[in-house]
Amino acid sequence: MKQLTLASANDTAKKKTTRREKFLAQMDAVTSWARLVAVIEPHYPKACAKGAARRSD
């Protein structure tokens, strides 16, 4: 773990919340991520082992 310098500690305290961070916070509050993942997962490609050939069925 890196120790913060005084300058970087002041910068993090003054950091403005970006629109992206606000949007993601709102999405976390509204969306049921477990249900969303369950819907997407069957369509998401599965990772195969490194160097393994994909089977063509």
From first to last of its 57 residues, what are the pLDDT tens digits of the chain? 667 677 666 666 678 889 999 998 998 899 888 888 899 999 888 877 776 655 555
Name every residue whose Cβ is closer than 8 Å to that of residue 32 and which is 6 or more positions away in sequence. Answer: none
Predicted TM-score (pTM) of this structure: 0.40
Q: Strands of the chain (E only): list them.
A: none
Residue pointed to by tokens 């393994």: 52
**Dist. CA 14–CA 50, nearest whole Å:** 44
The pLDDT value given to residue 48: 74
**Dist. CA 3–CA 6, nearest whole Å:** 10
